[in-house]
Each structure stands twice: as C-alpha cells, then as structure tokens.
Amino acid sequence: MTLSKFQIDSRYIAPLLISTILLIGNFKYGILEHPEKTATSILVSILVEILMGFLFLRKMPHLASAYVSGISCGILVRSPEWWPYAVVAALSIVSKYVIRVNGRHLWNPSNLGIVLLLLFAHESVSTLSFQWGNHVYAGLVIWALGLFIVSRLKRLHICLTYIGFFLFYSYVRTFFTGDSFLTEAAPITGPMYQLFILFMITDPKTTTQSKKAQTIVAFSVATMECILRLVGGRWGIHAPYYALTLMGPSANLIEIALQKYRPTGGISPTPVAA
Amino acid sequence: MSEKDFRKTRGPWAIATVIFVGLIGFAAYRNREHAHNGGAASGLQLPSPAVADALSRYGFTLTEGAKAAGLDFSHTPPKLDPKLDPILPRVADMGAGVAVSDFDRDGKPDVYVTDSAEGSKNKLFHNLGNGKFEDVGEKLGVADVNQKGTGTSMGALFGDYDNDGFEDLLVYKWGRPELLHNDAGKKFTRVTETANLPKWMNANTSVLLDFDNDGKLDILLCGYFAEGLDLWNLKDTSIMPDSLSFAHNGTDRHLLKGDGTGKFTDVTKEVGIDTKAWTLAAGVADLNGDGFPEIILANDYGKAELWLNNGGKRFTNVADGTVIGAKAKAGMNISFGDIYNDGRLAIYRTNITESEGNLIQNNDLWLPDKPGSLTYTDEAASLGVADGGWSFGAQFADLNNDGFQDLYLTNGYISADPKDFYWFDYGKVAMGNAVLVQDASLWPPLRGRSMAGYEAKRLWLNDGAGRFTEVAQAVGASDRFDGRAVAVADLDGDGALDILVANQKGPLLLYKNKVSPDSRWLSVSLEGVKSNRSAIGASVTAFFDGQKQTQVVTGGIGFCAQNQRPLHFGLGKTSTLEKLEIRWPSGTIQTVEGAKLTLGKINEVKES
C-alpha cells in the first residue's frame, strides 16, 4: 500500500475545506441564516451540471466543481427569498456551457452568476458582507488553512499577488478618499474576501494557464477593483465581483488569442467538467 | 469539449442559451415584483393629503397636524465627544422618543417627547381637549433632564410605581436615568437619588413590568453602548460593536424590582438574566399563558432573546434553537399583535432592509402555532410585512376600526444629501475584523451623505385573512423624515387611533385619524387593585362576531415608545360585543359581559 493511495483527489480539497468552514461556522454562529437556502444552491448546481453534462456530453460529469459553485453561490448570495439561490446556481452552471471560446469557458461560474443577479435583481439580492461576523481568530485560522491548501494546489502566487496589491492600493486610495490605510484595508480582513481570494480568483478552470499570466491577472483584478472602489456606490460595494467579471475573461481571451496565433499553435482545451 | 465538438452541439447550446437568457429574464421580472415601496424622495417633506377616495376605500384617512395642534417639537441629537465628529450622525442616531399618558387623570391622553441635545428640554404636552396641546413640561418639572454632564434622553415611560393613581415618569438616557414622581398631576418631583437606579448607563430601551406579580411595578433598563462609557468624554474610540452580526461587546441589562415606594433593587443576576447585548427594544407579555410575563429583547448586531419567566423567580432564555433566536439582525423594535383575532400574540421585530439591496434582513413576524405556545414561525414575508426599509418603530393598531389590527411602521436612517450615499463607505469597515470594526476612528466620515434616508413609511392594512396591504401613501402617511418612535392614542376622543411619530433630528408628527363612521369600537381602561394599579401586564380578550382579539397592557412597547394605556378595539360593523375577558397580573380572571359595556366610548374596569 503506497502513500499515494491515501491522497485526496485535488478537486475535492476546496469543497472539503469550504464545507468544513461552513459547518463549523453554522453550528457555532448560525452564519448561514438559512442552511436550506445554501443547500438549494448546491442541489440546483449539481442537478443542472448533470443535465448539462448529459445534454452536451452524453455522460455523467464530475460534480466537484458544481458543488463548489453551488456552495459559493449559496454562501455569497444573500436574499430573503428562495428563488435567487436557485437562479444564481443555475445561471452559474449554464454559463459554463453557453459562453465558450475555443472550448474554454471564460468566467468563473459563480462569479458571473452573482454579478448577473446584482445587475438584474439588485433589489432582491445582496452579497455576503458582515453576516459571518467579524471574528479575529476564526479569520486567522481560515486564512492559514486556506492559504496552505491553495499552496498545495500551486495557486498561492495568485492569492499573494492579489493580497499584496489590495494592500498597496489601499494605501494609494488613502490619497483619494482621505480615509486611513486601516479603513481602506479593512475589507480584506473579513470573511467575504477570504472566500473571494481563496476560492474564486484561484479557480483552475477560469484562470489563465501560465504562472506569470495568473500573476498578471491577479494584479489586474486588484487594479480594477481599486478603480471601482474609487468610483464607489454600487460598483464599489460589489467591486471584487465586478473586477473579476471584467478582468478574468479579458485575460482568458488574450491568452486564447495569443495561443491561437502562436506559430506552434493550438491550445489545450479545458473540459466542461473535468 | 473542443471547438470541433462544440460545433456538433448546436442543439444543446441553443437550449442552454434559452435557459440562460430565461433565467436572467426571470430574475429581472422577480426583482420588479420586489421593488420597494414609494421610491426615493428628493428631500424631507411634510405629508401630502390622502387620495380622494381613501376614506371609502380603506375606511380611514390620516392628516398630519402636529403644529396646528400645538405639538410643536423638533428633536435635536447630542454632540458627543469631538473624536466622534466625523461619524456623529452614525453614532448619535437615536433619542427621539414619545410616550403617551393621562398624567393628570382628566380623561385625555397627554404626550411626552424626548430631546437629546445637551441642555435641551423634553416636553410634556397637556391635552386641552379642544384639539390643542400646551407644553407644561417646564412648569411641571419634567423638561430639564438633559443638563450637561448628566447625559441626554433616549426615551421615557409612564407608570404608577407607588400605586397612588398617578402615572410617574421614567426617563432613560445615555447617561443618568431619571425617575420623577407624579404629585397628583400637579407637578413631578425628581426621586432619582433614592430610587437606586444605575448611576450611568447608555440605555436605549426600558419597559415597566411586574415580573413577579407582586402588584408593584418593576423596571427593566437595557443598555446599548457600554455601561459607564461617557460618550461626551471618551478615553479612546474603541466604542463601536465588535461585530455587526454577532457583537460580543454588548452591555448589561438591569431588572430593578420595585418595592412600591419608589425604591428599587437590582435583581438582574439573581433572576438569571446574564447576557449582554446592544439592545434596542423590549416587549413584555405573558406569552405562554402561565400568568407570568415573558421578556423579549430585540438586539442590534445580534440575535433576539426570549426570556421565559419561571414563576417570577428566574428567567431562562429560550430563543436559541427557535426561529426567534435563529438570525442575527439589527433588531430595533418589538410589538405585539393578534393579527388573526384568534388569541395568538404575534411578535414583530423590525430590522434593516436597505432600498438598494445592499443589506436585506427583512422584518420578522413571529407567530405562535397556538395561544400560549412558544413555538413560532416567521410569517413576515408570506403576510407581506417583511420589507420596512431601514425600520425603527412599529405599532399594531386597528386604524380603521374594522376589527383587525393593522401595522404602522416608521423608518429611515440618515437623510442628508439626497444624491450622495454613505453605504459604500459604511461597508468598508463593517466588513473588517473585530479590532477594526469597534474603532470609531476608522469609520469613514459621513461628510453630509445619506444612508437609507428619505424612506417611504409603511402602513399595512390587515384583512384578517392573512393579507396585509400597504396603503401609507394613499391614506396620507407620506412623510420622509428619519422616523424612530411610533405611539398610538386616540388623542381627540373621536374613536380613532391617531399616530404620533418622533423623528430623529426632525419634527414630532401627529397623524390625525379620521375613520369611516359606520365602524364601531370601544376602549377599555383598566385599574388594578391587587395587581399594579396601572394594570401593566393585564391582557384583555374581546369576543365579537365569533372572533376573539387579545391585547396586552404594556409598560412601553415598540422603539422608545409608549401607547395610550386604554386598549382600543375596533369592532367593524358588529353591533354587539359578547364579552371581555380580563386576565390580571394577580391571576384573577374577570369577565365583563357585553351588556355592561358601552360601544363608542372608554369603559373603565376595576379589578375585582
């Protein structure tokens, strides 16, 4: 019996971590408010993934990414109604099949689903803000655990780039807003950003492929977010979601174009559901 | 799936695309259904008249007439420590309270309003009975309670703590609470020094109750900012909640047991009320029917608490594990209503729903599964009373005398520049960790911006069959001030409950109610004998038309408010009232047959 037999499929690591955080947080603080709504997102996400898998590929897709999308939607979306939890999950999964270039889907599914709801249903939907509480030690544990796992997935550079530039831009914004550095940097100490940094911008399916490009994209997302934060209002409140929606696909399209016209040619298409 | 494979899947792609677009369309459509009432206003405004057919359509109209009636009052907030200046409107965001009581027993309800600037005067408006009021606050010694160095008022309550027949006055403050004895309606004498109240607490709610049914009124005072904190002289700026959802740095409550002479003993720990929170509202009623009153607390930055009264000796928080303790919200109001006329007391907690969808908490309407049950479900969304905006005070009252209790709610947080909003900056620090959140110096300055300002008020008409219809604008409740406290009272004795609204940094409003004359009503004024004389804690059930509506005599209910003491029952078109069943705090159950009651007037009932 080799050690490798005990290794967990890397696709399950993120779902396991996020599920653990969720369960502990909910039992201790009731952070989900409506666990059944989060469950709805997960269930719809999985069912739509199965439906799309059979529709497009005539086979059962791997469900790990659908689970992560569902759980992300179910946590990050906040609404007193039920339908947004189902709609955001379905939108996220269907988007992977509808919006494709050269066989790749461009957007992080849950990011796009959430942004579409924010654009078209902003009076019915909000996103996670301070509803998980503002606990210092719980936050530190999640950061430590999350960053460790992200490093195992070889995506630590994305997180660190984003964090570094967020902090840098926090300093830059102080000259525009007149607020202190700690005020500008405060959001990144909260749970919403933990989820965004650890699980959304590191999504293997929707990030560019080279380490250098990934670093540039993380920088560009942080830059766009800073711009949106300076614009303020609705764009500022949901700045990270909009920034990723704008910059992630742009980077993917550039990468696709570069690879297409490179003399050696060709790209390695990303499967819909690995 | 490669590009080549993808070409082969045009059919599925078309299906998926239709689903995708359909989902977006569905979301947009549902969002329109969820659109908020009233829309934004360009600035503060006094109400406009009701629509022409409001009286025939809804059975009543409201006309604002505070100034014309002599209720000339505008609230001013405190200044506080200069270190808080950049966010002063965010910190000094409460203090407009209103309490109704017939302090001189002339049969006409009078009105007391609280001010919050240092050196400002609270006002006691004496009801002259001709539709006019006269401020007698200074003359009677209840005005000058906001002197520099003593803190400033947040609210007030009337209750007869010594059972002499005249309602005494408690003023709770960010600072030193004050107790004033009512000397036969002629003047008030300050008795704070001998009452053994807390020396200094930043209280935002209080209720009078008789928790052990000994016939003597007790006081529950609940803190907001940390006890002992002098907001005018801060040592540092770490004064804010350490979490906007699960704050751990809340402060104490004080349950003060009265001995009937004006002396109180703090029994908070003895009875087991050991939690700390940022409490904004308290409601007291016998919810499980055992004769002893329960206490329900709405906490800002946290979950609500339901304290079960164990025979007047101990309290146990039974909210955890139930819908009441399930969600941490910005709780600001508690009020009780028998919305189905079946004897079940529903509890209404108000919270925040921000009109642009940045924070959607929704209000809660907790309905017990049967009278006396502590098993609740939240019916706010299904009944249509969930979205009240940035909600503050709310009261149940049968405003059109149709026999069902309606719901009036005021709202609005900070109305300043109508085109510039603070919400984004609020979110910066609100999302941060506890160390950052609680430091007021890190909160971005308001700079004259609004936050959930100019909100449309809500008045939901209850059809008694599970549907509430919002009619505020149509019947004339169309102001856009930053509302805080709501109290209801029939100020002109015409059989219609008028609405008083105390606005933060704004005028006191009086919505005079005109009801269609074909609806009947009666009021019941109770006087305890074995029970406390104010009859606080008594419940009255009116039986009419095969229905039974229960109301409770409270010692303060809603956000910083107190309604008139007599209970008002609208009876619709019925010509006969079968009976009243009164459950006194003493345990006595008294039945008054309908034949002994007169519709269309206040019926006085003494405990026997």
Q: What is the pLDDT of residues A196-248, one digit of tens each?
A: 898 888 887 777 888 999 999 999 999 999 999 998 777 888 999 999 999 99
As given in the structure block, the two tokens for residue B124 are 């006691």
**Distance between CA atoms of residues B241 and B134, nearest Å:** 41
Amino acid, single-letter form, for residue B51: V
Element (H, E) at B256: strand B253-258
Confidence of residue B31 (pLDDT cuts 50, 70, 90): confident
DSSP assignment of chain A: --GGGGPPPHHHHHHHHHHHHHHHHHHHH-TTS-HHHHHHHHHHHHHHHHHHHHHHHSSPPP-HHHHHHHHHHHHHEE-SSSHHHHHHHHHHHHHHHHSEETTEE-S-HHHHHHHHHHHH-TTT-EE-SSTT---HHHHHHHHHHHHHHHHHTT-HHHHHHHHHHHHHHHHHHHHHH---HHHHHGGGGSHHHHHIIIIITT-TTTS-SSHHHHHHHHHHHHHHHHHHHHH-HHHHHTHHHHHHHHHHHHHHHHHHHHHHHSTT----PPPS--
| Average pLDDT of every residue of chain A | 85
pLDDT in tens, B247-279: 989 999 999 999 999 999 999 999 999 999 999
> pLDDT at position B311, please?
97
In this predicted structure, the answer to whether residue B62 has a pLDDT above a threshold of 90 is: yes
| Average pLDDT of every residue of chain B | 94
**Distance between CA atoms of residues B430 and A134, nearest Å:** 8
> pLDDT at position B532, please?
98
Confidence of residue A18 (pLDDT cuts 50, 70, 90): confident
Number of other CB atoms surrounding residue B68 within 10 Å: 13
> pLDDT at position B43, please?
57
When mean pLDDT is compared across A261-265, B67-71, B484-488, B503-507, the lowest value belongs to: A261-265
> pLDDT at position A3, please?
43
Nearest chain B Cα distance for residue A53, angstroms: 10
As given in the structure block, the two tokens for residue B437 are 């959140």
Nearest chain A Cα distance for residue B283, angstroms: 24
**Chain A contact set for B13 (CB, 8 A):** 56, 97-98
Which residues, including other chains, have CB under 8 Å from residue B34's CB and lie 6 or more apart?
A81, A121, A123, A124, B387
Confidence of residue B458 (pLDDT cuts 50, 70, 90): very high
Q: Which of B393, B444, B390 is nearest to B415 (CA)?
A: B390
> pLDDT at position B337, please?
98
Confidence of residue B395 (pLDDT cuts 50, 70, 90): very high
Tell me which residues of chain A, numbers 76 to 95, contact chain B at a CB-CB cutoff of 8 Å: 78-81, 83-84, 87, 90-91, 94-95
Nearest CA in chain A to B352: A80
Q: Between B356, B431, B434, which is nearest A234 by CB?
A: B356
> pLDDT at position B4, please?
56
In this predicted structure, the answer to whether residue B5 has a pLDDT above a threshold of 90 is: no
In this predicted structure, the answer to whether residue B225 has a pLDDT above a threshold of 90 is: yes
Assign 3-class secondary structure to B370-420. CCCCCCEEECHHHHCCCCCCEEEEEEEECCCCCCCCEEEEEECCECCEEEE
Tell me which residues of chain A, numbers 119 to 148, contact chain B at a CB-CB cutoff of 8 Å: 120-126, 129-136, 139
Confidence of residue A1 (pLDDT cuts 50, 70, 90): very low
Mean pLDDT of the B312-334 span: 94
Q: Which of B507, B503, B508 is nearest to B491 (CA)?
A: B508
Q: What percent of chain A has pLDDT over 70?
A: 90
> pLDDT at position A267, please?
45
SS3 of B109, please?
coil
Mean pLDDT of the B560-588 span: 96
> pLDDT at position A271, please?
40
> pLDDT at position A17, please?
77
> pLDDT at position B241, please?
95
**Distance between CA atoms of residues A37 and B154, nearest Å:** 39
The better pLDDT of the pair B357, A82 is held by A82
Number of other CB atoms surrounding residue A148 within 10 Å: 11
When mean pLDDT is compared across A192-201, B58-67, B114-123, B132-141, the lowest value belongs to: A192-201
In this predicted structure, the answer to whether residue B576 has a pLDDT above a threshold of 90 is: no
Amino acid, single-letter form, for residue B589: I
Mean pLDDT of the B335-347 span: 97
